Chain A
Amino acid sequence: MNETIVMPKLGMTMTEGTITEWYKEVGDPVEKGEPILTISSEKLNQDIEAPISGVLLKKHGEVEDELEVGAVIGVIGAEGKTASTETKKVEQPHAEKSKTSERVSVATVARPVKQASTKTRIFITPLARRMAEKENLDIAHIKGTGGNNRITKRDIERVLVNGVDVEVEATAERTTQAVSVDLSAVGEGLSPMRKAIARNMRGSLAQTAQLTLHRKVNADPLIDFQKVLRKEIESGELDVKLTLTVLIARATVLALQELKKMNSLYHDGQLTEFDEVHLGIATSLEDGLLVPVIKDAHQKTIGSLAKEMKDITEKARSGAADGNLLSGSTFTITNLGASGIEYFTPILNAPETGILGIGALQDELALAEDGAVKSVKKIPLSITFDHQIVDGATAAEFLTMLVGYIESPYRLVL
């Protein structure tokens, strides 16, 4: 039988060795114990002796070749034999694994390009953060009373019972968390609500790149649809008012679900797109503005959207809105139609990416298909978007989608 000569392991740390000299040539007879070559490792030199007597049949390396420990250097066989492929690697029997070791594949997570982080850090304990997430509370509304002004469990519990801290101020402050400019002096000397609004607006303009697009949409089909639907809803004893705003809100929800880039928040250096739509409804008060939120607007029928819009705006106006109601929106609608305004440039409810402004219904003359002049109702729409996150084409696409729904309103219930 042939015997292989392998690169020996000369010490615990040796992993490879170099052939320094061959004393024998292929075909030379060798005696058991006779040195046939010498090898060196980093630190040591050693002669390799023939394990059996016979003939050197094959060399698997020349002088200065570097071989791994265990690699075959040569083959010795009884004279006349050939070097067969008896160079099988010595294999370790496998251990019975107690557990299948699974390689966890880590999906590459797309991250938004982080602009120079300018966020103001809110300190909150791990427990409080978890509770806030569960209760859907915006921590910017909550005053931290723990060490280092951390928000603690106590603070969350207090807010859940009493509503947000410092009432309106904190509510309106919700978007100031990511503001880079020093807003501490903004709104000084104003009422608490105005002060909060001042900070909110200045903060929004300071941290986003706002641009507004305008477009009119033919409202006649929507008005017809509204009349049909009103009968249905009002006969169903629902105490709701089916306004055009409600229908446009429904159109907005559907468009947002198709174009999720517009239904996104960018704060703390992170862009998050949402599947769910929580729709903020800007609501004017005697001396100010609040944005109550219709949670999970995408799951609501037109009827329940109408009812909820009525409820939340009434609550906001009566001062009954708590922090929960006033936070968590992903997109906002504001309507100045009642004041006869046509187009305007709404300011983003940061950190949202878009806000839709609805203007007053306009009577316009238009050419009918037969060339006759006719009167049509049109609604001016204004979309303000954060040019950091989306471009004009995307915002325009969003408006086009809205127009599609408004001009073919039966799609709103499909």
Chain B
Amino acid sequence: MDRKEALWIYQKMNEIRFFEDEVHRTFGKGLIPGFVHLYAGEEAVATGVMALLDDEDYITSTHRGHGHAIAKGCDINGMMAEIMGKKDGLGGGKGGSMHVADIGKGMLGANGIVGGGFGLAAGAALTVKTLGRDNVAVCFFGDGASNEGVFHEGLNLASILNLPVIFVCENNQFGEGTPFRYASASETVAERASAYNMPGVRVDGMDVEAVYDATKEAIARAKSGKGPTLIECDTYRQYGHFEGDEQKYKTDQDPNKDRDPIPEFREKAIANGWMTAEEADAIETAAEKTIVEATAFAEASPLPDESALYTDIFA
């Protein structure tokens, strides 16, 4: 990791955090229809992976997808407007929080279906491979999705076809309200990789550098035609599964409960000389401003025209 990457990572981590805290408040005011699932606490995963991708690389995301979208470079104003169901949203207000997407940025969409991304990411990688491009597809999924049948199908297919996919599990300890230790027969998600003949690594998902390093290796492997890698990031969800979740299932003993990846990275980056405290402060201030502006933009945006109900069904 170099200074430039570190500054970018710290900026994106802050943007994600301010964004999610803002969405939390806005939802509370009743300005957001439907469900929202907040990413706060897991910023190290999205930024550690995305620091190594460009617009031609693909990602598939989850219902907890705001962090992935911001780190993948989606327009933050457009995201906020989309989440509020406004005309200027990335999807014209027709997708909402669970379907934030920007294919031009390689973001194939947050996904309302748990496990929806395994096949899509394999398919994007199939495109890369078939057309001979030098890119990868990253499939973000939660510990909950690791118990869907299509987890097996997606990993197996990617492995036998040597597809350039990186499966990134964000193990935030809970699938909705059920602890991972209850729902999974294997102790880790990473160890399941051996069943599909691919490397499986488990890293500290609160440590950007650990995520970054594991991803870098996986990308190199994928691009050299050796196929997919499974990376399990041990992390924690600061908010509930959805807004309004009382989080009765959380305990004081939960792994990573008292950790926060953002101050951790700030400290490390300053110590490593990647950025100064002044730069960090300036990034924080700028990130907050970005989000305040995004909210103002979204609130000012009109609702979609009624005619939009009937458009964009077929190309």
Touch A–B, Cβ below 8 Å = yes
A interface residue numbers (CB < 8 A to B): 6, 8-12, 14, 44-46, 51, 69-70, 90, 92-99
Knowing A6-B29, A69-B30 are in contact, say whether A12-B303 is a contact too (CB < 8 A): no
Q: Can you pick out 27 interface pairs between chain A and chain B where the beta carbons lie within 8 Å of each other?
A: A6-B28, A6-B29, A6-B30, A8-B29, A8-B30, A9-B28, A9-B30, A9-B244, A11-B242, A11-B243, A11-B244, A11-B245, A12-B35, A12-B242, A14-B244, A44-B244, A51-B25, A90-B30, A93-B299, A93-B300, A93-B302, A95-B303, A95-B304, A97-B305, A98-B305, A98-B306, A98-B307
**Nearest A residue (CB) for B87:** A95
Q: How far is the CB of A44 from chain B (nearest CB, A)?
A: 5
Residues of B near A45 (CB, < 8 A) are 246
Instruction: Confirm or deny: B255 has a beta carbon within 8 angstroms of a beta carbon on chain A.
Output: no
- B20-34 Cβ-contact flags toward A at 8 Å (1 or 0): 000001011111001
Residues of B near A94 (CB, < 8 A) are 302-303
Check A96 against B243 for contact (C-beta < 8 Å). Answer: no
Contact of A97 among B28, B29, B306 (CB under 8 A): B306
Check A95 against B28 for contact (C-beta < 8 Å). Answer: no
Interface residue ranges of B265-304 to A (CB < 8 Å): 299-304
**Nearest A residue (CB) for B307:** A98
A8-B30, A11-B245, A98-B306 given; 4 more Cβ-contact pairs under 8 Å: A9-B244, A92-B303, A94-B302, A97-B306
Check A70 against B305 for contact (C-beta < 8 Å). Answer: no
Check A70 against B302 for contact (C-beta < 8 Å). Answer: no
Residues of B near A11 (CB, < 8 A) are 242-245
Q: How far is the CB of B87 from chain A (nearest CB, A)?
A: 7
Interface residue ranges of B18-71 to A (CB < 8 Å): 25, 27-31, 34-35
Check B246 against A44 for contact (C-beta < 8 Å). Answer: yes
Q: How far is the CB of A52 from chain B (nearest CB, A)?
A: 12
Residues of A near B307 (CB, < 8 A) are 98-99
Check B305 against A46 for contact (C-beta < 8 Å). Answer: no
| Docked complex Cα distance between A377 and B215 (Å) | 119
Task: Name, among B29, B31, B35, the residue most crowded by chain A CB atoms within 10 Å (CB to CB).
Answer: B29
Interface pairs A-B: 7 shortest CB-CB? A11-B244, A95-B303, A8-B28, A10-B244, A98-B307, A70-B30, A69-B30
| Docked complex Cα distance between A6 and B30 (Å) | 9
| Docked complex Cα distance between A44 and B29 (Å) | 17
Contact of A96 among B28, B29, B35, B305 (CB under 8 A): B305
Contact of B31 among A10, A90, A95, A97 (CB under 8 A): A90
Check A95 against B29 for contact (C-beta < 8 Å). Answer: no
**Nearest A residue (CB) for B245:** A11
Interface residue ranges of B164-197 to A (CB < 8 Å): none
Residues of A near B30 (CB, < 8 A) are 6, 8-9, 69-70, 90
Residues of B near A90 (CB, < 8 A) are 29-31
**Nearest B residue (CB) for A98:** B307
Residues of B near A44 (CB, < 8 A) are 244, 246
| Docked complex Cα distance between A99 and B87 (Å) | 17
Residues of A near B301 (CB, < 8 A) are 93
Check A46 against B246 for contact (C-beta < 8 Å). Answer: yes
Residues of A near B300 (CB, < 8 A) are 93
| Docked complex Cα distance between A98 and B302 (Å) | 13
| Docked complex Cα distance between A51 and B301 (Å) | 25
Q: How far is the CB of B88 from chain A (nearest CB, A)?
A: 11
Residues of B near A6 (CB, < 8 A) are 28-30
**Interface size (B, Cβ < 8 Å)?**
23
Residues of A near B304 (CB, < 8 A) are 95
| Docked complex Cα distance between A12 and B34 (Å) | 5
Residues of A near B31 (CB, < 8 A) are 90, 92
Q: How far is the CB of A241 from chain B (nearest CB, A)?
A: 68
Knowing A92-B303, A95-B305, A97-B306 are in contact, say whether A9-B27 is a contact too (CB < 8 A): yes
Residues of A near B35 (CB, < 8 A) are 12
**Nearest B residue (CB) for A8:** B28
Q: How far is the CB of B4 from chain A (nearest CB, A)?
A: 35
**Nearest B residue (CB) for A44:** B246
Residues of B near A95 (CB, < 8 A) are 87, 302-306
| Docked complex Cα distance between A10 and B245 (Å) | 7
Residues of A near B25 (CB, < 8 A) are 51
**Nearest B residue (CB) for A4:** B29
| Docked complex Cα distance between A193 and B175 (Å) | 86
Check B302 against A10 for contact (C-beta < 8 Å). Answer: no
Residues of A near B302 (CB, < 8 A) are 93-96
Q: How far is the CB of B86 from chain A (nearest CB, A)?
A: 8
Task: Name, among A9, A44, A96, the residue most crowded by chain B CB atoms within 10 Å (CB to CB).
Answer: A9
| Docked complex Cα distance between A98 and B243 (Å) | 33
**Nearest A residue (CB) for B31:** A90
**Nearest B residue (CB) for A97:** B306
**Nearest B residue (CB) for A69:** B30
Q: How far is the CB of A335 from chain B (nearest CB, A)?
A: 65
| Docked complex Cα distance between A69 and B304 (Å) | 23
- B124-138 Cβ-contact flags toward A at 8 Å (1 or 0): 000000000000000
Q: How far is the CB of B80 from chain A (nearest CB, A)?
A: 14
Q: How far is the CB of A71 from chain B (nearest CB, A)?
A: 9
Residues of B near A92 (CB, < 8 A) are 31, 303
| Docked complex Cα distance between A12 and B27 (Å) | 10
Q: How far is the CB of A351 from chain B (nearest CB, A)?
A: 48
Knowing A12-B35, A44-B246, A93-B300 are in contact, say whether A99-B306 is a contact too (CB < 8 A): yes
**Nearest A residue (CB) for B308:** A98
| Docked complex Cα distance between A92 and B242 (Å) | 23
Q: How far is the CB of B8 from chain A (nearest CB, A)?
A: 30
**Nearest A residue (CB) for B33:** A12
Q: How far is the CB of B35 from chain A (nearest CB, A)?
A: 6
Q: How far is the CB of A9 from chain B (nearest CB, A)?
A: 5
Q: How far is the CB of A304 from chain B (nearest CB, A)?
A: 56
Q: How far is the CB of B111 from chain A (nearest CB, A)?
A: 18
| Docked complex Cα distance between A10 and B27 (Å) | 8
| Docked complex Cα distance between A261 and B307 (Å) | 49
**Nearest A residue (CB) for B36:** A12
Q: How far is the CB of A236 from chain B (nearest CB, A)?
A: 65
Residues of B near A46 (CB, < 8 A) are 246
| Docked complex Cα distance between A12 and B243 (Å) | 8
Q: How far is the CB of B30 from chain A (nearest CB, A)?
A: 4
Check B306 against A12 for contact (C-beta < 8 Å). Answer: no
Q: How far is the CB of A95 from chain B (nearest CB, A)?
A: 4
Q: How far is the CB of A398 from chain B (nearest CB, A)?
A: 55
| Docked complex Cα distance between A280 and B189 (Å) | 92
| Docked complex Cα distance between A201 and B87 (Å) | 71
**Nearest B residue (CB) for A46:** B246
Q: How far is the CB of B51 from chain A (nearest CB, A)?
A: 31
